[in-house]
Amino acid sequence: MKKEENIPNFKVPESYFETFEERLFSKMAEESFPKNAGFKIPEQYFEKLDSRILKAVAASEKPKKIIPLFPRKYFGYAAAIAASLVIGFTLFNTKRNTSQLDSLQLAAIDTYIEEGNLNMDLYDLTSYIEDEDVPDIDLDAKYFSDSSLKEYLLENIDTETLINEQ
Amino acid sequence: MVEEQELVTALQTDGAKEAAFRELVAQYKERLYWQIRNMVLDHDDADDVLQNTFIKIFRNIKSFKGESKLHTWMYRIAANESITFLNKKAKRNNVSIDNVKSNAVRKLETDVYFEGDQLQLQFQKAIATLPERQRLIFTMKYFEDHTFEELSEILETSVGGLKSSYHIAVKKITEFIKTDETL
């Protein structure tokens, strides 16, 4: 059997032989898997798809019609009630706690988003942010405690991703 | 077929955007559909996710800066939309994502748009046990023949990481099928 030194000009990628069995057995196992998934599509689906997609895109671009909650004639009454409530609230509740108000608003916003009412994802959000805005984003540590960050990572990142990224 | 760079320029030009988008849909609808279908399994769900994917592409094409190839960016949006869809479905029905996946596989048994035999059904059951990202890697590589280099650009993960994730997936599927057969 020839020794490796006899072919000094050839090299193999790092860990090639160490991982050879793994790749070989994986390839052999794959051979026994079905070649296709077994899915079917309705007749003429792809032929009709273009016009459906274009319609869906056009519909999503149309400004949505806003239906008022209250007809205009009730505005006067509503304004009067709101004004008296504000005055009453100011008169009887002068020791208003602003920090409590802030946290209440944040909690309400959190719930609103968590319930899926904010129909936006990463692409929608990033479309509102320009490159030059990024350094201005205030990523103050006070927004994420170590424990909530840890909880987020444990819930959202699977172990394999972490191992693979090492 | 229009070259990708020409298509990007046209998509970002107001007067030419619509015609270019038609071309884009014609070129990519089938590839994106199968990528999504392999993740969500049900045809109607795949159809919804595909439409949302194209809506996202149309809305965000102005902010596409060409840091990756156009098709890479589109496959990435389709991948994210599929995973978002599964998460939303789990949340809406107040169940875990594993539950959503196992329900989707169970539904295949009576699905008029599934013509797979027992082995194909068992294969789908095995794939459904994989974590989301691993499942995405496996289906995109196995059924859609993407190379690891392409997948690395789409999923923004190293080739080495993808390879090991893929081999782990193959191993898990093999073990699932073996155990399932002995039951």
In the prediction, which pLDDT does B117 show?
92
Whether residue A164 and residue B84 make contact (CB cut-off 8 A), yes or no, is: no
Read off the pLDDT of each residue in B139-167 and give the average, rounded to a whole number. 94
- Higher-confidence position of B123 and A126: B123
In the prediction, which pLDDT does A9 show?
82
User: Which of A122-131, B38-47, B150-159, B167-176 shows the lowest mean pLDDT across its residues?
Assistant: A122-131
In the prediction, which pLDDT does A15 show?
84
Distance of alpha carbon A51 from alpha carbon A60, whole angstroms: 14
In the prediction, which pLDDT does A22 show?
81
Give yes or no for a contact between B177 and B126, defined as CB atoms under 8 angstroms apart: yes
pLDDT tens digit sequence for A103-113: 666 677 777 76
In the prediction, which pLDDT does B38 show?
95
The residue of A21, A31, A40, A53 whose CB has the most chain B CBs within 10 angstroms, and thus the best one to mutate to test that interface, is A53
Distance of alpha carbon A40 from alpha carbon A38, whole angstroms: 7
Chain A contact for B148 (CB, 8 A cutoff): no
Chain A contact for B178 (CB, 8 A cutoff): no
Compute the 3-state secondary structure of chain B and give helix, strand, coil in percent, each to the nearest 5.
80, 0, 20
pLDDT tens digit sequence for A39-66: 999 999 999 999 999 999 999 887 766 6
pLDDT tens digit sequence for B17-59: 989 999 999 999 999 999 999 999 999 999 999 999 999 999 9
pLDDT tens digit sequence for B125-135: 999 999 999 99
In the prediction, which pLDDT does A19 show?
83
- Percentage of chain B beyond pLDDT 70 is 98
Whether residue B25 and residue A54 make contact (CB cut-off 8 A), yes or no, is: yes
Name chain A contacts of B26, Cβ cutoff 8 Å.
50
Q: Which residue in A has a C-alpha nearest to residue B127's C-alpha?
A: A37
Whether residue A56 and residue B55 make contact (CB cut-off 8 A), yes or no, is: yes
In the prediction, which pLDDT does A166 show?
46
Chain A contact for B76 (CB, 8 A cutoff): no
pLDDT of residue A116 exceeding 80, the answer is: no
Mean pLDDT, all residues of chain A: 73
CA A87: distance to chain centroid?
42
Whether residue A33 and residue B91 make contact (CB cut-off 8 A), yes or no, is: no
pLDDT of residue A4 exceeding 60, the answer is: no
Chain A contact for B103 (CB, 8 A cutoff): no
Those residues of chain A whose CB sits closer than 8 Å to some CB in chain B are 22-23, 26, 29-30, 32-34, 36-42, 46, 49-50, 52-54, 56-57, 60-61, 116, 121-124, 126-127, 158, 160-161, 163-165
In the prediction, which pLDDT does A38 show?
93
pLDDT of residue A34 exceeding 90, the answer is: yes
| Most distant CA atoms of chain B, gap in Å | 62
Total Cβ atoms within 10 A of residue B135: 20
Query: What are residue B169's phi and psi, to 5 degrees?
Result: -60, -45
In the prediction, which pLDDT does B87 show?
92
- Of B54, B97, B48, B44, which Cα lies nearest the Cα of B77? B54
Can you name the residues that pair with A39 across neighbouring β-strands? B114
Least CB–CB distance from A160: residue in B22, B25, B131 = B131
- Would you state the structure tokens that stand for residue B80, as one six-digit string? 């994210």
